[in-house]
Structure formats: C-alpha cells, structure tokens
C-alpha cells in the first residue's frame, strides 16, 4: 500500500512539473515571435486549460503535501500578467447606457457582412435590421466594423452606409474597401463611422502571401472631438481560415477518431500559417501606433487570444478596456471554445477608461464590444 501511495505521489509530482513547464511556455508568448516560435504559440490556445490544471494542483497539494503547493503558487505568480489578461477581476463592473459628460463611446463589432450570406439565411432574414436597431440603441459616438458589407444594388441588398449615416446619425465615415465583386456592386472591408468630423485618415494594406484572404486593412481616422484630435484605428488581422472540413477535423480530434493524425496535421498547418502572418501584421500595427501624434484608440478583430504575441505587441503600454473595467473571460467569438476573446478595444494612457462591456448577441459569429473613454485634460 505504501509503495502504491509513493508511486501515485511521484506521478502527481511529475505531472505537476510538466504542466508547470507548459504553462510557463504558454506565458512566454508575451515576447516570443510566432514566426520563429510557432509551436509555443500553439500553447496559447490551451492556456485556460493549463491554468485550470495549475490551480487544481495548487488546491490538491494544499491538502496533501503543502510544500509541493509552492510550485504551482510560484508558477502562477510568474504568469500573473498572462492570467490577468485572460481574466478581468472587476467584480462590481456595471455599464450605464447613460454617458457621463465629455465621454467618447466606442463600439467595435465584426458584423460578418450583416449575416447576409449565412448558410441558414432563410432563418435569419431579419438579422440585419436587428443589428442596426441594437447599434442605434447604444448611444455610441464612434463605430468600428470588421467584415463590413456594402451593396450598390438595392434590388439585392440595402445600402448600409447611407442607412447608418442618415438613420443612425453617423455622418462621417472612412471605408477600406478591401474586397469587391468584379463589377464593384459589392464591397467589403473595415470601416469607421463617427458623429464627430473626420479631419484626416490613413489606410495600410497588409502584404498578402499566396493570395490568402481573410484579412482586412489597418485604417485610422482622426476625429475632432470638441476641438481635440483623437486618432481611431481599426483592423481585422489574419484569420485561421477554418472551413467546414476543418471544423469536422476538430470534431475528429475531440472524438479520437482513427483519422486523428491527419486531422491534426491539417489544423496545425493552418494555425502555423495564421500565427506567422498575424505576427507580421501586429508588428506593422505597433509601428503605426508608435507614430501616432494624437491620443489613440485601436479596436477590432485581432483573431488571437489575450496571452498571445499579437495581443501583447499591439497593446504595448495601452489600456485594455475590458481588463480595466470588465469582469470574467469576456468571450467575443462564439465558435470553437467558450474562452475565446479575440476582439479588443485598447486606449492610450491619455484616456481614462470609464466602463466597458461585451454584449452577447446571436446575429454574428462575434459579439460586439463597447467602452467609454474620457480624455485626460493635460492642462491641469
């Protein structure tokens, strides 16, 4: 019996050490460039699971062998920055739809072409109008959309830009127009709408490799907010480009099917390519943020989790609105995993973050994110 107990304890110790090493490697995504360290980047996807195991070992050892609990405790202290970007701890977080004076409210949302091309479109025919109604009720000042779809053929689809300008009262906009149909009757990309005048704008297209799609430009608009200039960025970084076959492959892996090895190779290949492309795009975004002469806000669909190189590199010393004022995991993507927060709003230090929230809606495969900011008076 004693021999079995000792063997079991050794198995738990070895398992704890392996989990601790993997957890720390996942935390190393903060500074390891995915173009070279893509295997470690993959660990970022299972960071929540690794954190759960580390915490589980901590509780287990506290009741069985407290000195071994120090391993998990030390590992969690080392990885605290990553833990805090994964979990927001503002227990009293509330969002008041009524804005404070001198407040700038920003809403970002990957609208998935207003759900116009959903495979189950016959059941979702009213999604666009419901999405517009939701946006109208949020009292936002700036809207940033990814996968924005605009049609110039009213017989097929309504014109979204004109509707948002006239009906939702956002007269100013800047549109990237990244993709279009051969006859230019349909266009898509990222777009910024503003109730405040746009005084300048810029657009930077990411370098495409092997004609890979599923990325949209980085755009920025300088807006005049009561005499002060604020630069708003939005972007949509490289997607993994999962198709129906890839989601089936994920199910094969989950169910440990006979073809799990082939399925895993396909998934890993796409993940590796996406990490490499996103890291290059993150470097470009960071460069533009560093060059901004104005207080800046960047938001959008980064297609990467909080404990990733993409997240930390773009964020830099900016404030993550959700971490500052939100609570929990803040899931923004509805597929694959309940822990995926891949849509963000970051603000430079010249702003106070007043409140932030994620809104669970059934219309797109992403949830909208909204935050209120107040520009700090530098004259005081």
Can you list the domains of the chain with their CATH numbers?
Answer: 2-86 (no CATH), 104-375 (3.60.10.10)
What is residue 210's predicted lDDT score, i.e. its pLDDT?
Answer: 61
- How far apart CA 285 and CA 300 sit, in angstroms, is 12
CB 220 within 8 A of CB 202: yes
Of residues 114 and 146, more confidence is placed in 146
Provide the β-strand partners of residue 344: 300
What is residue 118's predicted lDDT score, i.e. its pLDDT?
Answer: 62
CB neighbour class for 16 (10 Å; exposed up to 12, middle 13-18, buried from 19):
buried
Q: What is the mean pLDDT of the chain?
A: 87
Residue range 310-316: average pLDDT?
96
pLDDT in tens, 26-84: 999 988 898 888 888 888 889 999 999 999 999 999 988 889 999 999 999 999 999 99
- How far apart CA 189 and CA 161 sit, in angstroms, is 12
What is residue 266's predicted lDDT score, i.e. its pLDDT?
Answer: 60
Q: CA of 330: how far to CAs of 274, 338, 366, in Å?
A: 23, 9, 12
- How far apart CA 303 and CA 206 sit, in angstroms, is 15
Residue 158 confidence class, pLDDT cut points 50, 70, 90: confident
Q: Which of these ranges, 33-37, 261-265, 307-311, 337-341, has the smallest mean pLDDT?
A: 261-265
Q: Is 170 helix (H, G, I), strand (E, B) or coil?
A: coil
What is residue 260's predicted lDDT score, i.e. its pLDDT?
Answer: 38
CB neighbour class for 46 (10 Å; exposed up to 12, middle 13-18, buried from 19):
middle
What is residue 250's predicted lDDT score, i.e. its pLDDT?
Answer: 34
Of residues 273 and 189, more confidence is placed in 189
Q: What is the DSSP string of 94-125?
A: ---SSPPTT-EEEEEEE-GGGGTT-TTGGG-T
pLDDT at 294 over 80: yes
Share of the chain above pLDDT 90, in %: 65
């Amino acid at each position: 019996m004693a021999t079995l107990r000792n063997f079991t304890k050794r198995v738990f110790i070895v398992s704890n050490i392996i989990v601790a090493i993997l957890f720390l490697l996942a935390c190393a995504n903060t500074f390891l460039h995915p173009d070279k360290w893509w295997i470690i980047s993959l660990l970022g996807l299972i960071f929540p699971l690794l954190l759960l195991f580390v915490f589980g070992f901590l509780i287990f050892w506290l009741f069985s062998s407290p000195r071994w609990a120090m391993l998990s405790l030390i590992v969690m202290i080392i990885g605290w920055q990553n833990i805090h970007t994964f979990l927001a701890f503002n227990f009293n977080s509330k969002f008041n739809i009524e804005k404070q004076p001198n407040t700038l409210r920003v809403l970002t949302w990957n609208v998935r072409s207003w759900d116009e091309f959903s495979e189950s479109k016959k059941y979702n025919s009213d999604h666009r109008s419901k999405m517009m109604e939701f946006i109208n009720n949020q009292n936002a000042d700036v809207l940033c959309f990814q996968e924005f779809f605009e049609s110039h053929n009213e017989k097929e689809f309504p014109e979204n830009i004109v509707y948002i300008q006239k009906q939702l009262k956002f007269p100013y906009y800047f549109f990237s127009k990244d993709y279009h149909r051969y006859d230019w009757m349909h266009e898509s990309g990222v777009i910024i709408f503003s109730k405040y005048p746009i005084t300048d704008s810029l657009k930077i297209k990411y370098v495409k490799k092997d004609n890979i799609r599923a990325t949209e430009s980085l755009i920025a608009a300088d807006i005049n907010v009561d005499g002060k200039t604020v630069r708003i960025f939005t972007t949509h970084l490289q997607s993994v480009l999962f198709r129906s076959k890839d989601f089936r492959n994920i199910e094969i892996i989950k169910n440990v099917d006979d073809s799990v090895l082939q399925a895993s190779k396909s998934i890993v290949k796409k993940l590796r390519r996406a990490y490499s492309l996103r890291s290059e795009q993150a470097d470009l975004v960071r460069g533009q943020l560093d060059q901004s002469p104005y207080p800046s806000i960047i938001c959008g669909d980064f297609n990467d989790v909080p404990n990733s190189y993409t997240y930390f590199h773009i964020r830099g010393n900016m404030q993550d609105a959700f971490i500052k004022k939100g609570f929990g995991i803040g899931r923004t993507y509805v597929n694959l995993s309940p822990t995926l927060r891949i849509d963000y709003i970051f603000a430079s230090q010249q702003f106070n973050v007043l409140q932030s929230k994620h809104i669970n809606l059934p219309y797109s495969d992403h949830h909208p994110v909204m935050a209120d900011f107040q520009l700090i008076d530098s004259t005081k």
